[in-house]
Structure 1
C-alpha cells in the first residue's frame, strides 16, 4: 500500500537489475542525462536573453551568463552571504518596514559561502554551481520518490523529464534557493513515505532555514500521523513510530517558527519577519497587516480591478472557482495514485500558500513545491502527448524568462 515501508517485489529486484545493467542503463545515469540535456536547452535560452538584455538595476547591457544569473533575489542572497542581516529594520517613511534581507533565509547563501571558501570561486559562479548541483540531486531523489509510490520506471523517468523542463526550472541554474529547497523537500517526502522518521529531523531543520514552509510540512506530518492512527487496525502503528512521528510534527512546526523568532530577537520587533515579507506586496495593495487567507482575495480583487479594469468580484469569483477545481483535482483518481503521504503534502502546502502569500508573478515560483503533481502529468503513455507537453514546457520557459526574469522597463513582474 502507498506509504508502506515494505518494498514492492519490483522495487526489491531493482538493486539486482541495477548491479547487472551496463553503466549507461542504470537509473541514475538516465536521470542525470535527462537533467544535463534540459540544462543545455535552458542555458541556450538564457544566453539568448542575456545577449539581448539592456542596462538594468543589476547589470550593464548584454551581461555575461553569471551576471545575468545573479540578478533579482540573487543580489539579496549575496548581501546575506557577505553582510548578514540588519540589526534594525529599515523603514520607508519612518513607520513602515521596507524590503530587507530578513526575508531571505540563510540556508542557501550559507551553503554558497562554504563553496566559495572551499573552491575560492566568486559569488556568482559559486551560487550557480550550488543551484545546479542541488537541482541534479533533486532530480535523482524525485525519480526514487516516484518509483516508491508505484509509478513504474518509464513513468517515473518521464516525470523527471517534466521536472527538469517545467516552466520555472531556469531557477535550477540561477542564484535562487529553490534548487536546494527542492532537494531537501524531495528527500523529506521520500523519508516520510518510507516512514524513516528519525532521519527526517535534520532534513526538516535545514529545510526550514532554506525556504519558509516548515509549518506546511508540520501539517503534512500531522495528517500522516492521524491517518496512520486511524488505519492502525490494518496497518500496524508501533508505539515507537507513534512517538517519533508525533514528535516530528511538533519539531517541524517549531522549525517553521524558528526564523521569525530569530528575526524578532535580533531586531527587537516581534513582527520583523512578517513586516518584511509584507513590504513586497505594498506596491500592489499598500501596507497591510497579515490576515490569514485574505491575501488571495485581495490579489484577485487587485488583478481584476486594477490590471484588467473589470469588477473586483469577478476576480474573486474566478478565484473561488479555481480553488474548487484544485480541490477536486486533489481527490481525483490520478492524484490518488501518488499515495496518501504525497497528497497530504499537496494539501498542506496549498493551504499554507493560500493562507499567507499574495498572488503575483512570484507565485509561479512558489508553486514549485507542488512538484509531485508532475507524476500525474507523466501518466499518459502517448508519444504525441509526451512530446507536446515537453515542447509546451520549454515554450513556457521562454515566456517565464521574458516576463519574470528579463528586465524591460518598470519592475512589476519579479520572479
Structure 2
C-alpha cells in the first residue's frame, strides 16, 4: 500500500505539469504567430529590419540589456535643467543577472538568453498559478485560468526580455506558500521578488492585512504564536527589501534620492513637473491628463478615478466568484491596487503593471454559461494582438511604452 502511494505521488505532480505545459506551448505558438505577422507589418511600413528577436527586445528589454552588460551608473545622467533623466537604476538586477549568466553558457547571446529566461519562468509561473488556484477551485477551472493567463492580452511578455515572468513566478510561489502557511519559504521568496522588479512593498501590505484578518478570526482559525512571529518578521523583511534598492542606489551614486528621481523621470514627459514624489499624486495627475488628451473634461477624470476605486473595492469585497478565491488572493489584489495608486503614474505601461493581479483569472474561469470561458479566451487573444500591434509593431513614442 505504501509503495503504491509513493509511486502515485510523481504521477499526481506530473499530470498538472504536462497539462499546463500543453496549454503554455499552445499559447506561445499563438504569440509567435503574432510576432511573425507583426514583424512583417513593421518591415512593410517601417523600412525593414524587424524580426521576432527585435520585437522581443524592445523598450524595457533594452534597459535590462544595459544593466546586464554595463551595470548601473555611478553618476546620474542629467538634462539641461539639471533633472535626472531615465537610467538603469529603475530596473532591478536579478533578471538581467540570470540572463547574462545564461548568455555565457550559450555563447554570449544576451537577447536569446533573456527570452529563454522569460519563457522558462513563464511556464513555471503558470504551473505555480495552477497550484495556487487549485487550493480554492476545481482542476478544470484552474486549468482554464492558466489558459486565460498564458494566452491573454499581456502574453507576449512571456517571450520578451522583460522581468515580468520571473517576478510572477516568485509572486505566485509566495502566495501559494502563504495559502499553505509554509512561512519559511517566504524568507527566500520575498528578497527574490524585491530584486526582480518593484512591487514587494505591496506584499508587505498584504502581510499586514493578512495578520489583522487572522487575528480577528483566531477563534475559528487558530493563530499560534509562531505564526504571529513569522507574519510580523516577514512583513518587516518585505519593507526592508522594498526600500533597500533606494539605499543601494543612493550609496553608489552619492545621491540619496537617486532611485526616486530616476523613477520620476519616466513621468516628466507627461507632467513636465520637477517636483518630488507625493503619494497618490500620479493617479490624480494622470486622470486629468488622460481626459484632456481624450478631449474630455478634466474634473470628469477625477470622478472616473473615484468610481474606478469604488468599483474595484466592490469587486474584491462582494463579487461571489472573486470571494471563492480565498482571502489571500483578495488581500493581495487589494494591496497591489493600493500600491499602484500610491506610487504609479498610469500611462501605456499600465496594462503590463496589472499582470500581478493574474490570480483573479481564477474568478473568470469559474463556471457560468458554457460559452463564457471560450469567449473570454478569444477576447484575450484578440487583445493580445492589439497590444503587440500598438506597443511593439507601431509603438514609436513614449506614449506607447508597454
Q: Per the shorter chain, which TM-score range?
A: over 0.9
Size of the aligned set, in residue pairs, is: 397
**Following TM superposition, by how much is the alpha carbon of 1:381 offset from its aligned partner in structure 2, in angstroms?**
4.5
Cα deviation digits, residues 2-36 of structure 1 (max 9, x gap)? xxxxxxxxxxxx9986656797xx12111110000
**Aligned-partner SS, 2:228:** helix
CA contact (8 A) 1:52 1:62 kept: no
Task: Return the match for 2:289 from 302, 318, 322.
Answer: 302
Question: What TM-score, normalized by structure 2, do the two folds share?
Answer: 0.94
Where does 1:277-288 land on structure 2 (aligned, <5 Å)?
A: 277-287=263-273, 288=275
Q: Which residue is equivalent to 1:212?
A: 198
Alignment correspondent of 2:21: 32
Q: 2:87: which partner in 1?
A: 100
Q: Select which of 37, 40, 48 maps to 1:51.
A: 40
Q: In 2, Cα distance between the equivalents of 1:210 and 1:197?
A: 20
Contact 2:170 2:193 in 1 (8 A): yes
Cα distance change on mapping 1:303 and 1:189 into 2, 3 Å: same
Report the TM-score when normalising by structure 1. Answer: 0.91
Q: Deviations over 1:278-310 (max 9, x none)?
A: 1111111113321101111100100111x1122
Map of 2:66 onto structure 1: 79
CA–CA distance in structure 2, aligned partners of residues 159 and 279 of structure 1: 36
Secondary structure of the residue that 2:400 maps to in structure 1? coil
The range that moved more, 155-164 or 288-297, is 288-297
Deviations 1:33-70 (A, max 9, x none): 000000000110011101221599xx972422212211
User: Could you say if the C-alpha distance between residues 202 and 55 of structure 1 is closer, same or farther in structure 2, counting changes exceeding 3 Å?
Assistant: farther
Unaligned runs of 5+ in 1: 1-13
Runs of 4+ in 1 over 3 A off after TM superposition: 14-23, 407-411
Query: Using the alignment, how far apart are the partners of 1:233 and 1:379 within structure 2?
Result: 31
Q: What's the CA shift string for 1:230-255, capped at 9, x where partnerless?
A: 22222222222211221001001111
Aligned residue for 1:166, secondary structure, equals coil
Tell me if the contact between 1:18 and 1:27 (Cα under 8 Å) persists in the aligned partners: no
Structure richer in helix, relative to its length: 2
Match of 1:8 in 2: none
Q: How does 1:7-406 map to 2 (within 5 A)?
A: 26-54=15-43, 61-148=48-135, 150-287=136-273, 288-305=275-292, 307-332=293-318, 333-406=320-393
Instruction: Tell whether the 8 Å contact from 1:74 to 1:176 is kept in structure 2 after alignment.
Output: yes
Range with greater deviation from structure 2 (137-146 or 93-102): 93-102
Q: Tell me how far apart the structure 2 counterparts of residues 369 and 206 of structure 1 sit (CA, whole Å).
A: 15
